Copies of this chain bind each other. A is one copy, B any other.
Amino acid sequence: MKPERQAHNVAPTPLLVAVDAVVFGYEAQRGVSLLLVQRRYGPHAGAWALPGGFVRPEESLEAAVSRELEEETGVKISYLEQLYTFGAPERDPRQRVISVSYFVLVRPDALRVQADTDAADAAWFALEALPSLAFDHGEIVATAVERLRNKLTYEPIGFELLEETFTLTELQALYESLLRRPIDRRNFQKKIRSLDILEELPETRKSPGSGRPARLYRFQRARYFELQARGQLFEVWI
């Protein structure tokens, strides 16, 4: 049976296109957290949701993510990656909205947020204690968390969640928090050094509770992209 055809001269129907951002933050004491906004207007007024909004005709998708995050929460993006496009016809009760979702990492200094415009409030929630979310945003978050954990098993990521300089102990604590399991310290240090993507700095830092000052490192972004382009980061490494 032939499917129903739409003639070429029937004009296509434009649809609303939104961007939604799954924004991860991290602090040693609090662990991994997610930035949410409280909806000021309906549908789901008062419910927590991902920051985001409609794409304007003249702006790129990435520009829309940056603008909405700045407007709704005041945070600046350190790393952004497209996650997935959610397009089920019934995902918004008002009308059809296609949501292009983004995975965003921000640095600790961005953790103080300010709510504004369409958002009644903006706040960080521990990843393990999220409220129930508006629309299909719970599904979007689950997709982002799965992506983050899967990526981490075959590629070192997440440097954008730390300060510019960090100790290997701090990096290990981040990965343990993301993976929710302890990592062997010696193996970890051996592997991360062998990848040759960290610059060893002359400075050291004393961590609270530890006697010896520890070496500081900085992530070498250019070197990382070079190895990634050659496919050399795709290996089991953790």
B13 touches A96 (CB 8 A): no
Quick one: CB contact mask for A10-45 with B, threshold 8 Å, 1 for yes? 001111110000000000000000000000110000
**Distance (whole angstroms) from the CB of A101 to the closest CB of chain B:** 9
A residues engaging B (CB < 8 A)? 3, 5-6, 8, 12-17, 40-41, 53-61, 67, 70-71, 82, 84-85, 87-89, 96, 98, 100, 117-118, 149-150, 153-154, 231, 234-236
Contacts of A231 in B (CB 8 A): 149-150, 153
A17 touches B235 (CB 8 A): no
B87 touches A60 (CB 8 A): yes
Q: A17-B15, A17-B17 are in contact. Are A87 and B61 (CB under 8 A)?
A: yes
Contact of A60 among B3, B59, B89, B149 (CB under 8 A): B89
Give 13 CB contacts A-B under 8 Å.
A8-B41, A8-B118, A12-B16, A12-B53, A14-B14, A15-B57, A17-B87, A55-B87, A55-B98, A59-B89, A61-B87, A98-B98, A153-B231
